[in-house]
A = this chain, B = another copy of it.
Amino acid sequence: MRTKDEFIRSLRDGRTVYFKGEKVDVTTHAFFDPIINHLGVEFEIPEDPQYRDLVTFSPDGKERYSRYFKIPQDSQDLLDRSRIIDLGTRLGGTVVLLIKEIGTDCLFALNITSKQMDAELHTEYFKRVSNYYNYCMKNDLAMAVAQTDVKGDRSLGPSDQEHEDYYVRIVEEKNDGIVVRGAKAHTSYGPCVNEVMVIPTRNLSEKDRQYAVAFAVPANAKGVKMITSPFGGTTRSGFHNPISASHHMVESLTIFDDVFVPWERVFMKGETQFAGPLALRFVQYHRFTAISYKAPILDLLIGAAILIARINGIADTSHAREKIARLIAYSETVKALTKQSALNCRKVEGVAIPDPVYSNIAKWHFASNYHQHVAFVQDLTGGLTVTGPSEEDVNSPQTGEYVRRYLAARKGISAEDRLRVINLIRDLTASDFGGYNEILQIHAEGSIEASKITILREYDARACLDLAQKLAKIKAA
């Protein structure tokens, strides 16, 4: 397994990453500095003896690899996977690391779907997928998944768009591989990984054959161009922004400008009937990842709420107690649903899949209630969240004394500690980073509407209908 330094060095590979309109070296550019340090946590965790057994595994009893690569066989594997996602995110200051999670979500989906394609179409995709899986695992690579096409007019399919490149497509087939063109939106950590995997984003119809494509390229492949988004927190004051100054995500608009992909890295080519199933399979894993990495931010909301309520001297008021009880219920409901998703797993092609009904209820519950629970924490914190003084005011000889005298709260709590907690809450909920969090909770890993559709499709209502029909004394309607 690699060290943090090896990881960082591996990113100095000539990749084409743009930031604010300029090509940059992500290993030296100031914007990327906290992001890469943050991702380095992923490589430090296995070096810590207290975590090693949890976060690594040895498929052959000899070499140890990241446990993210363990193909889940049962509920316990999924529970373990959930735990290591939680751990990484927790040590990453509630910001998911996601350079192993999403890639293995995709590899598991490819594993299952390639077997099904081979069985039905007599292709040989599974072998390619297996080789690629081993390559990533053995080299301990950081992986991104670029799934969401830019889509153009969302009410139209790929072939019906005004512009034929609104979905990534095969523009040429060569002897040794294919050439792809198009763009994928919001590729998480794209500029900071070794490998970029690409899969379709939706069901395709027969006429969409050129869009039915799945493949993987190294991040420095010729023609791959990543336009980095600058949003989501960029300040460097650890006092003002205690989380985001050292932990935040980055996303790119990832351009495939006629990128060549050799056959061994092509995992779907024109099999439109498997585009939707592959997309869905990935999503089944990825929503489980999604709900697994929410635990730390849920814990943080509870912890921050309790802390600030104590500091502000309102911990025993009925309204504070109500809000804290709601935060606990919110958090533990998501966790219980997540566990139930692992415990109710389904097996397909020998691989365990988290129960999609529970994982989507968890995601829906989380996503549709996040803003309200943020509001509870902000309510406990007070207006000072955005009207308080700056780090420099605390340290200035002209103003520091006033700040310390007047902003102390309950006896025994210094103004500075109070401001630290307030700043934590502002950073988490009422800042560029807080805004990023709100958007992430709603949109990442599939929309709220997608969760409802999945629940309706996957739920087995037979016991419910039986009971209703029996009590109504009617035959099936």
Contact = CB atoms under 8 A, between A and B. Distances in A.
A407 B424 CA distance: 34
Interface stretch (A112-120, A135-143, A191-199, A441-449): A441-449
Interface stretch (A39-47, A262-270, A378-386): A378-386
Interface stretch (A48-56, A126-134, A280-288, A332-340): A332-340
Contacts of A364: 329
A242 B468 CA distance: 11
Contacts of A20: 390, 392-393, 396
Interface string A292-326: 00001001101110110011111000110110110
A148 B166 CA distance: 48
Contacts of A378: 438-439, 442-443
Interface in A254-279: 255, 257
A358 interface: yes
A365 B406 CA distance: 33
Q: Is the interface of A mostly helix, strand, loop or mixed?
A: helix
Interface stretch (A66-74, A102-110, A452-460): A452-460
A59 to B, nearest CB: 29
Q: How large is the interface on A (under 10, 10 to 19, 20 to 34, 35 or more residues)?
A: 35 or more
A62 interface: no
A203 interface: no
A430 B431 CA distance: 7
Nearest to A341: B336
Interface string A73-94: 0000000000000000010011
Interface stretch (A169-177, A209-217, A469-477): A469-477
Interface of A: 18-23, 90, 93-94, 148, 150-156, 162-163, 165-166, 182-183, 185-186, 225, 227, 229-232, 238, 240, 242-243, 251-253, 255, 257, 296, 299-300, 302-304, 306-307, 310-314, 318-319, 321-322, 324-325, 328-329, 332-333, 335-337, 339-340, 343, 357-358, 361, 364-365, 368, 370-372, 374-375, 378-379, 381-390, 392-396, 398-400, 402-403, 405-411, 413, 417, 420-421, 423-424, 426, 429-432, 434-436, 438-440, 442-444, 447-449, 452, 455-456, 459, 461, 463-469, 471-475, 477
